Amino acid sequence: MVDFKTIDKFKPGLIHSLLKISYAGFIERFPDEKEKSYTQWEQEDHNAFNYPLTIGKYVLFACMNNLPIGYCSWDDRQYPVGIIGQNCILPQYQRRGYGRIQIELIIKMFRDKNFREIRVITGEHDFFIPAQKMYQKCGFQERRRINGDLFNLIELYKLI
């Protein structure tokens, strides 16, 4: 059974580590993106852990037996539109529904706060097909495609 823990239960570096492991296949396919991605993930980690009462309060870690297996993040500053940030699950735990559990938790939080819509962006590349399917199973629909440097991005939305 997965449970969720807040950022204050962990040490800095965890977000960066989870993303490096979870996106290893992405980096394999796009090795030129490694430095840029690692820098971005380090910054996400830094921001969340150094600002636990603002950015960090929008992060939850999915845990099994108190060990983090992934994490999710969101942004509620654009009310009535909620934004899903990261939805990361370690590869050995993927395709077991944990990512969907994280998204359903975020949907519930937004619904409880009377948000009207939730948006998320994922990639069009085949690496992101499992994420695309998971969001669709959670009731998200494609809004638009956005031109990207490496591949197009897909913006999805869900009315709640």
For the chain, domain boundaries = 3-159
Please tell me the predicted confidence (pLDDT) of residue 122: 97
Distance of CA 128 to the CA centre of its chain: 12
CB of 86 within 8 A of CB of 71? yes
CATH 3.40.630.30 fits 3-159, yes or no: yes
What is the tens place of the pLDDT at every residue in 107-148? 999 999 999 999 999 999 999 999 999 999 999 999 999 998
CB of 89 within 8 A of CB of 101? no
SS3 (DSSP) at 151 = coil
**pTM, full prediction:** 0.93
Q: Which two tokens stand for residue 62?
A: 């999915």
